[in-house]
Structure 1
Amino acid sequence: MPNTRHITEFAGLPVAEFTSWESIRDDFDTAMRWARDRGEPHAELPPSHEPLFRALADPGSFAWRLRTVPPPYHFTLRGKGRPFETLPEYLDRFVELVPPRKVRALIVGHTPDGKGEMDAAQVAGELRERAPHWPELRSLFFGEILQSENEISWIDLSDLAPLVAAFPKLRRLVVRGGSGTLGLRLPEHRWLRELTVESGGLRPEVVRDVCASDLPGLRRLELWLGADEYGGGAAPEDLAPLLAGEAFPELEYLGLLNTEGVDSWIAPLAGSEVLKRVRSLGLGLGDLTDEGGRAIVEHADAFAHLELLDLHHHFLSEKVRTEIGAALPGVRVNLSAPRTPEEWDGELHYYTAVSE
């Protein structure tokens, strides 16, 4: 599952984590003594600290993950239950230690509040307040939270449009979480090239807001539509401006991933104007069955111009997989990660890759 481990690369850069003070303060002193005793401040550090010091020496060559320790593990200071370092203090330390004008990519991970949950509105507000410090920021991943930290549909987000507007040079935006409180109707942003929204269930209103956003330079759009049970339920009419070719004139890749009922999307996509324009189409992580596979074969002419058709994580029989390959000989079709339906009470159940 995509949300079971931290990414190690983002925006073409290796990831360095700016660790919260609570989890490193004792080991940090040990590391500094280790280096000082050897007379080489950055060369012979313990393996666990070497990546951080290497990143500090060349901060523009790394994507920086911001993640704090949950409250149960906080050291306390100046009174019972008071975290040693608050979120504002943590971010101020990051701005102080990592030359902000060299920062090009940020990953916002789990930053829990006093109740152990991330207050997305607070985090977005703190980042927006410090946005002038990062004038060269090009890539932002908001909500890189693992399943072990919080189920994807339980991650309460907020209206992120003001945060995006605070970074006018942003090229790449990835958002992960539930969509119940997510706002993503973006005002004119001429530089944004890639937008990904990862969710176990993407609310139709959010889908409509994305399609109504003014992003004239967008090249890649990936929406994880998810399942009805977790807040999804988007239908082709919710993407009407996109399917009609009216939105995002520069689009090259469209991904409708992690979609429940993806079989029903094949015919609308085949008849859409946007499919004629894009070079790659992603329908992976969903519950594609032989019904949808045969629809692809039936409408093969509409998909024949694609460079890539990504169907990974599917429930296609070997026979239908062969038929798709034969119908699209000039297309690279990703049919990896075949799945077997689960049987409950005598019925077969098909599932998306990321749900709760």
Structure 2
Amino acid sequence: MTIGHHLRELDGLPAFDFVSSEAGRTELPEADAVAWRIAGSSYGDDVVWEEAFARFTEAVDITRVRALIVGAWSDPFEGGPDEVAAALLAARDRLPALRALFIGDMVMEECEISWITQGDVSEFLNAFPLLETFGVRGGTGLVFPAIRHEKLRSLTVETGGLPKRAVQGVAAGDFPALEHLDLWLGTSEYGGDSDIADLAPFLAGTRLPALRSLALRNSQLQDEIAAALAAAPVVARLETLDLSMGVLSDNGATALLGGQPLTHLKKLDLHYNYLSDALRERLREALEPAGVLLDVDADDADEGHLDHDGTVWRFVAVGE
């Protein structure tokens, strides 16, 4: 499975595509009513992102803009969003209301998720200290050093392979207001070289004091993660736990069920999985009577592929 549609909302605001060629010809929404999506051409033969953003700043009162979605920039296969960063940093004093930012909202026709080149995304967080929601798509070249950000409430990193150093950087960061963390860990084939030890700071519950929603998903380590969460201190203070989109099997789910109670959760998301019907039923019987919103739908997960030597290969939901 790949990314087939653009973001439909950001931080509770509906996404709206700013089409620079139509600016001034069509009625635009109020500046603070939508999450504005600014996109160029990923092949560099049509709209240049920086030019589209410049026209956006002329057409919209950006002092009132609350949310921005950065779409394709020129040649994301080879280069990161350096020009995007330069344009946003140059305009930051004119964006005092900005509270939500997403970098890299591209679908497969523009650039596959594991081909999107990123860079040091901490410059966006450092430039906008009042940001409450930040997201990024693409793991190639992604750098996420340990930083402190006072206001960030939601952090999402979507990849087909999240580099070990980026995982470690997020884990070592200081985010006192962070309530929601969503990491797509991916696979080693696409650069996802972290292991269960790199996730220990998230599981220990000693960091991220405001955390209430934890998603460690789209992972080839899903069984190991589930087993670790069975006794992880962080679980007791979560409202939502998301282990979806990976290669979760009966082994991981059984370990999770056999660990600490999960009945305090408001939601447990396991969709896209390799669970047996019997295990799905066990989960329902254990959690749904307690009011836990449970998603154990297998979605598009196949049965895995059997190699000639008997090895079963299973795949995360979003890889390439």
Q: TM-score, normalised by structure 2?
A: 0.91
SS of 2:32 mapped into structure 1: helix
Q: Specify which of 309, 312, 330 is matched with residue 271 of structure 2.
A: 312
| Structure 2, unaligned runs of 5 or more | none
SS of 2:145 mapped into structure 1: coil
Pairing of 1:1-356 with structure 2 (within 5 A)? 1=1, 3-20=3-20, 24=21, 28=22, 32=25, 49=26, 53-55=27-29, 58-71=30-43, 73-74=45-46, 86-113=48-75, 119-178=80-139, 180-299=140-259, 301-328=260-287, 329-330=289-290, 331-338=292-299, 339-346=301-308, 347-356=311-320
- Cα deviation per residue 1:19-44 (whole Å; 9 max; x = unaligned)? 24xxx3xxx49x94xxxxxxxxxxxx
Deviation at 1:314, TM superposition (A): 0.7
What residue identity is the alignment partner of 2:56?
F
Deviation at 1:348, TM superposition (A): 3.0
**Paired residues, number:** 315
Identity value in percent: 37
Deviation at 1:8, TM superposition (A): 2.3
- Cα deviation per residue 1:194-236 (whole Å; 9 max; x = unaligned)? 0000000111111110011111010000100111111113222
Deviation at 1:248, TM superposition (A): 0.4
Is this contact kept in 2: 1:182–1:206, CA < 8 A? yes
- Cα deviation per residue 1:112-170 (whole Å; 9 max; x = unaligned)? 15x97553122222212211111110101111011111111111100011111111111
Is this contact kept in 2: 1:111–1:117, CA < 8 A? no
Deviation at 1:332, TM superposition (A): 2.0
| Structure 1, unaligned runs of 5 or more | 33-48, 75-84
Partner of 1:40 in structure 2? none
Deviation at 1:71, TM superposition (A): 4.9
Deviation at 1:286, TM superposition (A): 0.7
Q: 1:233 to 1:173 in 2, by over 3 A?
A: same
What residue identity is the alignment partner of 1:277?
R
CA distance in 1, matches of 2:100, 2:77: 27
CA distance in 1, matches of 2:122, 2:209: 21
Larger Rg: 1
Deviation at 1:326, TM superposition (A): 1.9
Deviation at 1:296, TM superposition (A): 2.2
Q: Which has the higher helix share?
A: 1
- Cα deviation per residue 1:271-294 (whole Å; 9 max; x = unaligned)? 111111111100001111111122
Q: TM-score, normalised by structure 1?
A: 0.83
CA distance in 2, matches of 1:72, 1:206: 28
CA distance in 1, matches of 2:163, 2:224: 18
4+ long deviations beyond 4 Å = 70-73, 115-118
Is this contact kept in 1: 2:196–2:224, CA < 8 A? no
Q: 1:305 to 1:72 in 2, by over 3 A?
A: closer
What residue identity is the alignment partner of 1:306?
L
CA RMSD of aligned residues (A): 2.1
Is this contact kept in 2: 1:290–1:315, CA < 8 A? yes
